Amino acid sequence: MKKILPLLALGLLAGCTTILETGDRIERGLTPPDAVNYATTKPEGGFSTQLNDNRIGNKIELLAARKSKTDGGYSRVQFDLRNGAYLSQTINVSFEWLAADGSVTESQPNWIVTPLEPGALTTITATALKAQSAECRLRLISR
């Protein structure tokens, strides 16, 4: 009996280790390092967000989104971001422009590296290249 008890305890510990490893893999699977987060302007004003990587949501605040028209009639947006962390952060941003029906009219294939200083407000501006582009979707990836 004395020999079985240590073996049983060893078996229980080995089982716990396996469960922790599985849980660790699941957690990393839910927040991949390349998960894209979105902030999309709305026709009635304001914006909606979709966070797919919670690490960025704990550090960066999206304070405002403003839309306007250029003299040529093209849409322009400005997104105000604030780094709520105590350290400098770097994010990658890109834009997609949407028509009034929600279809993508323009897409920026490259990412812009954007440094954010602690507590600082950073304004990111984009201008549409097509007249039918009505709304903008800001795409964010944590670096």
Provide the pLDDT for residue 139: 94
Q: In what order do the strands lie in the sheet with 75-83?
A: 60-69, 75-83, 121-127
Q: What pTM value is reported for the model?
A: 0.73
CATH number at residue 101: 2.60.40.3230
105 and 134 belong to one structural domain: yes
130 and 65 belong to one structural domain: yes
11-36 pLDDT, tens digit each: 444 444 333 334 444 344 444 556 88
Question: 14: domain range?
Answer: 1-30
Query: What is the phi-psi region of residue 104: left when phi exceeds 0, alpha when psi lies from -120 to 50, beta otherwise?
Result: beta
